[in-house]
Amino acid sequence: MKTLDIVVPCYNEEEMLQIFYKEVSDNLKNIKWNVIFVNDGSNDNTLEVIRELENSYDNVKYISFSRNFGKESAIYAGLDYSTEDYVVLMDADLQDPPSLIPKMMEYIKEYDIVGTRRVTRKGEPFIRSFFARLFYKIANKITKIELVDGARDFRLMKREVVNAILDLKEYNRFSKGIFQWVGFETKWLEYENIERQKGESSWSFWELFKYSIEGIVSFTTAPLHIATITGIFFSIIAFLAIIVIVIKTLLFGEHVEGWPSTVSIILFLSGIQLFAAGIIGEYLAKIYLESKKRPIYIIKEKD
C-alpha cells in the first residue's frame, strides 16, 4: 500500500486543526498517511497549533510562510513539499469530508486523478451561488478548458499529475483552471455541500469577483478579441453614418440640431473605449506581474 501525503492550506484555522487531525486519523485507519500543513501567514495561533501537532505525531509536517500569500500559493507550496506518489489536497475546515479518502484511494488505481464536486450549494447565500453558476457558464463559453461546476480543490492526484501542476510556475495562479489544463484522466465523486464547522470563510464577494476575472484572464484571451470585434463593428457603423451625414448635409444644408443624440453617442462610445482599454489593462497587468518573476511563496519556518 502506498503512502499518502495530505496537503492542507491553513489561514487562521487555530480552532480547526486539532479536530481536523483527529477526523482524518479516524477515517484513515488502513492507510499510511502524512499531513503537510501550509501556514499561509495566519494572524491567530495556527502556527502554534501546528507546532504542537508536529511534536505529538510523527506524520505531521509543515511549512510556514513569511506572510499571507493566498490559498493558491499555499497549494503550490504544499504540493512542492510533498514527496509521496499519492497526494490529497484538502481544506482545513472539514468542508472536504475525509471519509471520502478511502474511496478515492480505490479509484486512483484506475485513474490519474480522483476529483470531487459538490452537487448542492446548501448553506451558501443565494447571491453567491447565483454568481458562481454564472461565472462557470461564461468561463466555459470563452475558455478552451472545461471548468466543472461545483468542482472542489479536494482531490487525490498521482505524482505525475502533481509534477505537471508544479511545472506551471505562473505567478497568478488560478488552480481550478490549472488542474483542468494539465489534463489526465479524472474520476469525479459527488457529495453534498458541508458547512464550515468553525471559523469563517475568508472570501468576500469582492474577492470572489476578482478571482473570477483572474480565472478568465489567466485562461483565455477571448475578451481581447471581443474588444477588437466590437471596435470593428462600431467603425463600420461610423463609416456608414459619415456617408449618410455628408450626403444629407450636401442635399439639405446644415442645421445645428441633434445635440442629445450627439452627446448620447459620444458617451456610449467613450464607455466602450474605456471598457476595451480596461480589458487590455487587465492583460497588461498580468504580463507586468509575470515578468517580474517573483517567487510564488516565501518560507519563514518549516519542520
Find the binder of ligand UDP among 6, 51, 64, 71 (CB under 6 A): 71
Residue located via cell numbers 468576500: 204
CB of 113 closer than 8 Å to CB of 187:
yes
Using CB under 6 A as the binding rule, whether residue 5 contacts ligand UDP is answered as no
Enumerate residues 6+ apart whose C-beta is below 8 A from 86: 2, 3, 4, 5, 105, 108, 156, 157, 158, 159
Using CB under 6 A as the binding rule, whether residue 205 contacts ligand UDP is answered as no
Using CB under 6 A as the binding rule, whether residue 96 contacts ligand UDP is answered as no
Enumerate residues 6+ apart whose C-beta is below 8 A from 117: 148, 149, 150, 151, 152, 188, 189, 190, 191
Using CB under 6 A as the binding rule, whether residue 68 contacts ligand UDP is answered as yes
Using CB under 6 A as the binding rule, whether residue 193 contacts ligand UDP is answered as no
Q: Which is nearer to Mg ion, 61 or 71 (CB)?
A: 71
Binding at 268: pick from ligand UDP, Mg ion, none (beta carbon under 5-8 Å per type):
none
Beta carbons within 10 angstroms of residue 109's beta carbon: 7
Q: Which is nearer to Mg ion, 45 or 95 (CB)?
A: 95
Binding at 11: pick from Mg ion, ligand UDP, none (beta carbon under 5-8 Å per type):
ligand UDP
Using CB under 6 A as the binding rule, whether residue 79 contacts ligand UDP is answered as no
HSE-CB at 11 with a 13 A cutoff on CA atoms is: 16
Binding at 10: pick from ligand UDP, Mg ion, none (beta carbon under 5-8 Å per type):
ligand UDP
Q: Which is nearer to Mg ion, 58 or 200 (CB)?
A: 200
Site residues for ligand UDP, 218-257, by CB under 6 A, read none
Using CB under 6 A as the binding rule, whether residue 13 contacts ligand UDP is answered as yes
Using CB under 6 A as the binding rule, whether residue 215 contacts ligand UDP is answered as no
Using CB under 6 A as the binding rule, whether residue 40 contacts ligand UDP is answered as yes
